[in-house]
Amino acid sequence: MKRIAIFASGSGSNAEKIADYFAGSADVSIELIVSNNPKAGVIDRARRYHIPVVLFDRTTFYQTDHITRLLQQQNIDLIVLAGFMWLMPGGLVQAFPDRIVNIHPALLPKFGGKGMYGHFVHEAVVAAGETESGITIHFVNEHYDEGAPIFQARCPVTPTDTPDDVARKVQVLEHEHYPRVVADVLATLPDRTA
């Protein structure tokens, strides 16, 4: 059994798509939803799926190893970032090498880095006159959006598209591809032992 922890800060639509994808699986379990936002919509989604939620604050995340130890105690195989806005601490990245994945709403290396998330990305894509955007699923390191890419998918951006139009197109790609790519990554991982 492969065990996933999903980190999310917002509404949790990608977390829900992943939970849907693996619902009833004999091989994969969503063990935890981990969030830094006690008002995040993902918490309600987690309750509907009976997935335990762990909340933490900035001090706990960056100045202790509490979250890392919790994930290790749960024998988590893969950490999936689904709209999680904080940089992962070095100790957590080192404890889970090539076992943390993120989805970015643009075609990295374009439109990545600190401050480039959500609507800021789509506004930048439109302002730059790009003819396409998309998603990048990548491994996570200690820097924003610099981990090795795993998968990209593209969508057209027309001259009349607003940032909201681009966001809708990109979200379709996220929901279509992220669960499958997570499954593909899981399939390559050896089992973790306690």
Annotated binding-site ranges: 12-14, 58, 102
**3-class SS of residue 100:** strand
Contact 177, 17 (CB under 8 A): no
Query: Which of 104, 122, 138, 177 is labelled catalytic?
Result: 104
Is 175 noted as a catalytic residue in this protein? no
Cα distance between residue 17 and residue 6, in whole Å = 12
Binding region for (6R)-10-formyltetrahydrofolate: 58, 102
Q: Hey, what amino acid is at 162? A: T
Cα distance between residue 106 and residue 133, in whole Å = 6
Q: What are phi and psi of 48, to 5 degrees?
A: -60, -30
- Structure letter (DSSP) for residue 192: P
Known catalytic residues are 104
